[in-house]
Structure 1
Amino acid sequence: MSLAKKKAFALRLDPAVHAAIERLAAAELRSANAEIEMLLREALEARGISIAHSKPARRGRPPKGD
């Protein structure tokens, strides 16, 4: 199983910006982290930079072995 690993790093945000992201994320039913990623992808796309979406994580139980 080769799923792309997420890069973790610290991000310092103005509290007002963070609060706005949390409100937007709640309205979109996403986590704040996922909302930030979506906003970054939209900003990159608006500048003409396309980023391929990584393969989504598999959900549910793994298949039974033989």
Structure 2
Amino acid sequence: MDKEPLVSVVRGEPTDLELAALVTVLTAASSAVDEQPAGTPPSAWARSARPSMRPASWRASALPS
């Protein structure tokens, strides 16, 4: 192993359990588990109940569909 370690203990002598806890926390923090899942787009029925956010949407609301 020619690489420098990503984490090193600078002071003290951690137990195996403490090192395992540290590795677990660092692994969890760097994993993709915490990423927000891509949301599903709302259905056409749900969108029909929401007003449009376009600047001139009030004009289009009076037009027949």
- TM-score, scaled relative to structure 2: 0.28
